[in-house]
Amino acid sequence: MSDIEDLYELSPMQQGMLFHSLAAPDPGVYLITFSYALRGRLDVDALERAWQRVVDRNPILRTSFHWGEIQMPLQAVHREVRLGLERYDWRGLSETEQEVRLSAYREADRERAFALDRPPLMRVAVMRTAEDRYRLVWTFHHILLEGWSAALVLKEVFAFHRAFSRGGDLDLEPRRPYRDYILWRQKQDVSKAEAYWREALRGFSAPTALPVGGSSPVPPSPGRRHEKEWLRLSVPTSNALESLARTNRVTLNTVL
């Protein structure tokens, strides 16, 4: 256990994700993938250093999850976790071939399940498509991060990349560990929360169905997969949605 820096229980949301990740036959259910098109000067070595620095300073990115022969599931923060970049050079391919390669990579990436008891539970790939163009693909298990936190991680990565690529360094304030949130949760009076929600939901006797694409919800069945549908929103509509999310202190995902 000399490589373990900290050990504590999971949040309720993490417990749910762990349960369903172990029970779900589809390894991609709780994987989140962000893909970015980058243009300009990108120092890939500096980018790899930047990702590693962010892993070093954020305990949740060095965390593994353990269950089974213990009283309750626990998450363990490792002292050192190495994150290497997957690098690809596609400059000799046409744009069509590059898109085919990217689609194939993402499809295969979705099937590459993480072993939750072995960190890191994330991976990063960089594809060079032209002299000054790149694709960055970042995949991680949802048990580590959600969209709001992921944006903060990326902000740190590019801040460190900027410093490293110029031959310098960056001294940021230490990141508050996830342990603090777990300890805060343990001190909360659950009975007060229960009383609040019982009052808020008084009169409701059944869950509200959310039919999609028909008059009634489609029951889940084994082997069903989710696909994507693209919808382009106008700038005013996008701004209004973002404003609504900010006002209510939630993410756009929650609004939708």
In a domain, 137, yes or no: yes
Question: In the chain, at which residue ranges do the beta strands (DSSP E only) sit?
Answer: 4-9, 31-39, 63-66, 74-78, 85-89, 122-130, 133-141
Q: What's the pLDDT tens digit per position in 238-254?
A: 999 999 999 999 888 88
In a domain, 245, yes or no: no
pLDDT in the model for residue 147: 82
Q: Measure CA 213 to chain center.
A: 28
Q: What is the CATH number of the domain that holds 84?
A: 3.30.559.10
Backbone angles phi, psi at 101, to 5 degrees: -60, -45
In a domain, 74, yes or no: yes
Q: Are strands 74-78 and 4-9 parallel, antiparallel or unpaired?
A: antiparallel
In a domain, 57, yes or no: yes
Question: Can you spell out the DSSP letters for 156-224?
Answer: HHHHHHHHHHTT----PPPPPPHHHHHHHHHTS-HHHHHHHHHHHTTT--SPPP---SSSSPPPP-TT-
| Average pLDDT estimate for 126-151 | 94
Counting the structural domains of the chain, the total is 1
d(CA 206, CA 189): 26
Specify the amino acid at residue 122: M
Token pair 């900027």 in the structure block, residue: 162
For residue 13, which of 57, 68, 75, 103 has the smallest C-alpha distance?
75
In a domain, 226, yes or no: no
For residue 56, which of 166, 156, 181 has the smallest C-alpha distance?
156
In a domain, 148, yes or no: yes
Reported pTM: 0.80
Given a contact cutoff of 8 angstroms between Cβ atoms, the answer to whether 126 and 85 are in contact is: yes
Residues of the domain holding 174: 4-183
d(CA 73, CA 128): 40
pLDDT in the model for residue 222: 62
Q: What's the pLDDT tens digit per position in 78-106?
A: 999 999 999 999 999 999 999 999 999 99
d(CA 26, CA 248): 33
In a domain, 224, yes or no: no
In a domain, 196, yes or no: no
